[in-house]
């Protein structure tokens, strides 16, 4: 399953605390989450996933104004925000949108951050695969490698 969240990716911030001791999340993050949840719900018509899953996420951030025009392709982004906080934000949105039952079903995750290509808009691309889909390909390859005469003894 492939899902896209349009707009600048936002990392999950630490909760802020008021003088009265009440915790809250910053408005820019809650606004991003609301928008992302709506987009994910519009793309996902299935029930929440409940089996082990593998997720690959590509974060594409807005190009900086000083990026040379000759730089037309995506480039890796090594500055803030931290990728682990981006992943946390994405998983929260997937659960809140009903795509995943819980984020504890994710057994493998990979992510990469890019600066956008020349005419590319910022977005987040999420690819979700069941663990069975991944291991089917591996087991077929192993079966073909095994020799049919392995168990015969030489006389």
The answer to the question of residue 58 being in a domain is yes
Q: Max Cα separation, the chain? A: 85
pLDDT digits (tens, 9 = 90+) for 43-54: 987 888 889 999
The answer to the question of residue 39 being in a domain is yes
Tally of domains in the chain: 1
Whether the full predicted model's pTM is greater than 0.85, yes or no, is no
The answer to the question of residue 148 being in a domain is no
**CA 123 vs CA 8, 61, 63, 100: distances in Å:** 6, 7, 12, 20
* Alpha helix ranges (H) inside 15-130: 27-43, 83-96
The answer to the question of residue 147 being in a domain is no
The answer to the question of residue 149 being in a domain is no
- Asked whether residue 115 carries a pLDDT value surpassing 80, the answer given is yes
pLDDT digits (tens, 9 = 90+) for 46-87: 888 889 999 999 999 998 888 888 888 999 999 999 999 999
CATH classification at residue 119: 3.30.1330.70
* Alpha helix ranges (H) inside the chain: 27-43, 83-96, 131-145
Domain hosting 70: range is 2-15+22-132
The pLDDT assigned to 91 comes to 96
- For the chain, give the percent of residues with pLDDT over 90: 59
């Amino acid at each position: 399953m492939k899902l896209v969240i349009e707009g600048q990716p936002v990392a999950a911030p630490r909760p802020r605390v008021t003088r009265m001791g009440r915790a809250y999340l910053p408005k820019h993050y809650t606004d991003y989450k609301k928008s992302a949840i709506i987009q994910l719900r519009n793309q996902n018509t299935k029930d929440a996933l409940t089996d082990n899953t593998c997720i690959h996420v590509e974060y594409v951030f807005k190009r900086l104004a000083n990026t040379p025009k000759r730089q037309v392709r995506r480039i890796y982004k090594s500055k803030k925000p931290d990728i682990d906080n981006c992943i946390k934000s994405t998983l929260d949105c997937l659960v809140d949108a009903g795509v995943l039952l819980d984020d504890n079903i994710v057994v493998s995750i990979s992510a990469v951050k890019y600066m956008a290509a020349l005419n590319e808009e910022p977005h987040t691309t999420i690819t979700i695969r069941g663990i069975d889909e991944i291991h089917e390909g591996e087991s077929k390859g192993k079966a073909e490698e095994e020799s049919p005469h392995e168990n015969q003894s030489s006389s």
